[in-house]
Every structure is written in C-alpha cells, then in structure tokens.
Structure 1
Amino acid sequence: MAVIVWWLFRQTIYVQPWQAQVVELPAQEAVARPAARTALWVFLGVATSLFVLFVSAYAMRLGLADWSPLPRPRLLALNTALLVGASLAMQWTVHAARREQGDDVRLGLVASGLLTVSFLVGQLTVWKQLNDAGFFVASSAAAAFFYVLTAVHGLHVLGGLVAWLRALLRAWRASDAAAIRLGIELCATYWHYLLAVWLVLYVLLVFDAFGMAICSAAPL
C-alpha cells in the first residue's frame, strides 16, 4: 500500500504541465483533483481488498465442523457508538472548515480524536475481557479471527490518528481554516471508511441472523 501511494505522488511530482493536453472547460468544471485525494482513494481500494480477503477466509473456515463461537462482549456496542460519534464529529469539522470557522474546526478535531482513542481503548478492553475468560488467539478459529479482524481494523485506525494529529497541529497553527480544508476532508473520508468497515465487521462479530457470527454464544 505504501509503494502504491509513493508511486502516485512520484507520478504527480514529475508531471510536466506544458506537455499535457489542454482541454477547454467551463470555469466551474476546471478544477484539478488533488493528488492526495487520489492517493487516499487508491489506498482505500487496497485496504478494502485486504479486508475482503480476511472476510472470505473467515467465511470458508466457518463451514468446518470444529467451529466454536466466542461469548459476545457487551462493550462492542459502546465501541461502535464511539466510532459513529467520531465519524459524525469529523463531518461536522468539515462543515466548520468550509465555513472558515477556525475555533469549531479545532473543537471538532479534538472531539473526533478523543472519541477515536476511546474506541481503541474499548477494543483493548474487549481483548482483555476475552483473555481473562480464557479465549486466546490460539484457543479456537473463532478467537483467532476475532483478534485478527479487530487488530487489522485497529491498525488502520491508528494510521488515521497519525493523519488526524497532523491536521490538528496545522489547525492550531493556521489562522485561516480554508488553508487546511483539504486535509480535514481527507480525514473525514477516512473516518467514514473506518466506520463503514467496522459496521461490516460488527455484523460478522455479533449478528447471528446470517449464521456467520463469531460471537454467537452467551454475552460476556
């Protein structure tokens, strides 16, 4: 994923505009797509492929006779609510940046960051609860997939927090909210993606209506 993003930026840096074809467009349509936005969508495509591979492996492993589901941690519902709140706060920050309201931008970034960190702390707490109950990575296939899926998602959340911290520092230093608008919009897109992926994983983790739940035993 890093190689793909690096290649995209390299191609953008070495573009020679005087050699490009000129196309006449109306003033409102002649807006170039930022390279960072394109790179983000490429990254999201690669990340989606990674999650699809894990879910496919899980679906194939589920059909074997030795599948043993885990208890359902109640804290997962709260963690989901925290990530929903973080995504909403990030979207509110985007609207504040478009209105050039610097104080609201900083407030929204802080709120989304705190909610996201709380989500990660909640996920680690769920891990501890399962570990204390005797469900380790090597205990069963269900336990292994639970830890792997939540860990991969958590690593993507940590990566997002790096971009969030950069946006927060720029928002604190910049007097013009419009100057950091692109970075905030990219963060919001990534946060919405993290939420969408987590909702899919949450369905796989706790909803047994499809016969695919990892945690379909009694609540923990």
Structure 2
Amino acid sequence: MGSILLFLSVLAVIGAWWLSRQGLASKPWLEQGTASTLPEGNITPTPPSKIGLNVFLAVVGSLFALFISAYAMRMQLPDWRTVPVPTILWLNTVMLALSSVALHGAKRAAARGEMPELRLGLLAAGISALAFLSGQLLAWRQLSNEGYLLAANPANAFFYVLTGMHGLHLLGGLVALGRTAEKAWRETVAERLRLSVDLCATYWHFLLLVWLVFLSVLTGWAGEFVDICRQLLT
C-alpha cells in the first residue's frame, strides 16, 4: 500500500505542476491593485477550449491513476499471473512518440505561418497514430492466440482494459485531428488553425505520457522504481 501511495503522490505532483503551468491554479480575486492600474493590451485571455481541455485531461488523468492503483493492488493477490509484454508494443511506442513529435512540429509550423509544413505534420501524426492503434490490435491478437484470454486471469483483463481505454482516447483524438486536418486543406492562413493544432498537440503529449506510464507498469519498471525510492527514503 505504501508503494501505491508513493506512486500516486508522484502523479499528483506532476499533475499539480502541469495545471499550474496552464494557469488554472491562479486566484485572480486575491490579486492586489485595481482594474485601472492594469496595463492595456498585455493580457491575453485563455481560450475556453483550452481551459476545457485542461479540465478534461485532469479528469482523465485521475481516472487512469485509479486504474493503475487498482492494478497495483490486484497484482498482490496469489491468483495473479503476469502477462508477457508483446514485442510489438515497443514499436507501437515509437509510433506514438513519432505522432506526438509530428504534432509538435505542426504546432511550431502554425506559429510560424508555414502552411505546407503544418499539413505535413498533421498527416504524419495521423498516420503514426493509426499505426499505433493497428499495432495494439496485433498485440491483442498475439496474446489471444497464445491463450491469454480476457477472462482467463485478472492480469489479462487489466492488460486489455488499460490498453483498450488508452486506445479509445486516442481514437477520439483522431476524430479531432481529422477535423483539424480537413480545415488545414481548406484554409490558406495558418494562424486560423493555431489553436486547434495546439489543442491536438497537448492531447497527444498527454496520451504519450499516459502510455509510457502504462508501459512502465505492465513491464514492472514502475514497481522497481517505487522500490528504489522506498530504499532511498528509508
């Protein structure tokens, strides 16, 4: 239980730091001064869509943390049989990382007003994300062919639930990415797509971070990291 609390505390600290960077932790009602002393033209309000995405990611991050907590507690019981990690998951991780990098490049291209580079980044991100999802399906098929069925063992169920839940969120992100790409092929001014690309990039970076956490849990690296932290603290 102590290792679980330590791991969740690390996630909470990362989440609090990230939210503070987004400006959600600010308290404008406690700020000193009057409205007349505020400099004009220097305050850029945060778009409602970005605030909404930040709140959504905070909720989804809490949901993922609860699943990881349940995974860590359930694996302590004697009927737990560890699922071997398919090799293709490493290739899938590379594909998701490439998709995130491509969206980051598209975000920078939108800031510079470079429409061809923006379109190329969106296209590369979509193809890489689809390759990731295809690889996840192949991993499921490989495990099922080897007898690791959903109801055969609690570890199997957790593997399918964690990877499936992550895949569904990425699939939903692809819908938004597709709409942004469709606009990119109609628009001629990159500035009009800057917010949409920024939102997609933020969502993709978040899903990449979640996947890396999932992968560390499935491979046992997270448990080893927690044990090392406990040894250093004792």
TM-score normalised over the length of structure 2: 0.79
- Distance of 2:179 and 2:77 partners within structure 1: 46
Q: Sequence identity of aligned pairs in percent?
A: 47
Helix, strand or coil at the partner of 2:81: coil
CA contact (8 A) 2:216 2:222 kept: no
Helix, strand or coil at the partner of 2:185: helix
- Distance of 1:74 and 1:207 partners within structure 2: 15
In structure 2, list runs of 5 or more residues that go unmatched: 1-33, 226-234
- Distance of 1:25 and 1:161 partners within structure 2: 41
Map residues 139-218 of structure 1 onto 2, 5 A cutoff.
139-208=152-221, 210=223
| RMSD, aligned CA | 1.6
Q: Pick closer, same or farther for the CA change 1:207–1:60 going to 2, 3 Å.
A: closer
- Distance of 1:115 and 1:28 partners within structure 2: 40
TM-score normalised over the length of structure 1: 0.83
Q: Which residue, 100, 116, 140 being the options, matches 1:103?
A: 116
2:136 paired residue number: 123
2:54 paired residue number: 41
Residue 94 of structure 1 pairs with residue 100 of structure 2: no
Shift of 1:71: 1.8
In structure 1, list runs of 5 or more residues that go unmatched: 1-20, 213-220
Residue 83 of structure 1 pairs with residue 110 of structure 2: no
Question: How many residue pairs end up in the alignment?
Answer: 192
1:15 paired residue number: none
Q: Which AA in structure 1 matches 2:171?
A: L
Residue 135 of structure 1 pairs with residue 140 of structure 2: no
Q: Which residue, 126, 135, 140 being the options, matches 1:113?
A: 126
Runs of 4+ in 1 over 2 A off after TM superposition: 21-29, 207-212
| 1:71-108 alpha-carbon deviations (Å, 9 max, x no partner) | 22000100001101000000000010001000110000
| 1:155-196 alpha-carbon deviations (Å, 9 max, x no partner) | 100010011001101111111000110000000000000000
